[in-house]
Amino acid sequence: MKKYTYIFTALVLGIVASCATNPFSGKKTLALVPDSQILPSAFAQYSTFLTENKVVNGTSNAKLVESVGIKIKNAAERYLNANGYEGYLKDYRWEYKLVESKEVNAWCMPGGKIVVYSGILPITKTEAGLATVMGHEVAHALANHGQQRMSSGMLQELGAAGAQIAVSGKSAETQALAMQAYGIGTQIGVALPFSRSHETEADEIGLTLMAIAGYNPEESVAFWGRMSANSGGGAPPEFMSTHPSDQTRMSNLQRLIPKAKAEAAKFGVTFK
């Protein structure tokens, strides 16, 4: 038992030491896996992805993706510099690629590696709609959500090991039921809300970034309205989903628009 107490104590101390305040969310975030490991891996995966998929170059849409991406990147740097975080993104290697795919999606890897699928462009429709998407995806990277998910996964694995130890003296049936309950409990009670909170946080940060970049944040609500219409109402119940419902998301954005506009005003950006 002392052995496990020592391990637990060491783990707690390691977790405390691995927490740092994120300048975009203002929250202390868990970072059991350092950027020195995450970023090189992300860059390598991104390069591999680009070689295995059709990257669109030279078209007006490809140029638009790059232009909007640069504006969002510049907005992030302006925000950081104004808040005393100069050089915070020094290890980022920004890229903005349009990839031919029917998939309605976009993503940003840690380190600023962005992909927009051509399938989402009919829904973004406008430059501001595209800025909504790219601001949201960049926000995931800036808020270290990938790093947090990796760290959370490590803790869940340790929790599963602890649960196995706790029922090690029980019957095989009891052990199986206990581990099944642990899996369901952590998925619905921890992992899914954790993911939904990340989505909501990325919406808020992305809204601020697009506003600082000069895009009216009110356009975000219109974009998500189009996304909702495109999905046809086939989403799972919110408590079973990694994303908030479309209506929840749009309500949250509507509530946050004045805050995003006020933040943009600090940089001389106003909207009619």
Mean pLDDT by 10 residues, the chain (272 residues): 43 50 75 71 92 97 98 97 94 96 91 94 97 94 68 50 48 50 41 60 94 98 92 54 74 96 96 86
How many CB atoms neighbour CB 97 within 10 A?
Answer: 19
Q: Which residues are catalytic?
A: 137
pLDDT at 21: 80
SS3 state of residue 75: helix
Would you call 99 helix, strand, or coil by DSSP?
A: strand
Q: What is the pLDDT of residue 198?
A: 76
CB 236: neighbour CB atoms within 10 A? 10
Per-residue confidence (pLDDT) for residue 12, from 0 to 100? 44
Q: What is the DSSP string of 165-231?
A: HHTTTS-HHHHHHHHHHHHHHHIIIIIHHHHHHHHHHHHHHHHHHHHHTT--TTHHHHHHHHHHHHH
Tell me what pLDDT residue 58 has.
Answer: 97
> According to the model, what pLDDT value does residue 28 have?
72
Can you give the pLDDT at residue 243? 58
- d(CA 142, CA 172) in angstroms, rounded, equals 45
Q: What is the pLDDT of residue 54?
A: 98
pLDDT in the model for residue 91: 92
Integer Cα distance of 108 and 138 in angstroms: 6
> Which pLDDT score, from 0 to 100, does residue 237 have?
47
pLDDT at position 109 is: 87
Rounded to 5°, angle at Cα 126 from 250 and 219: 30
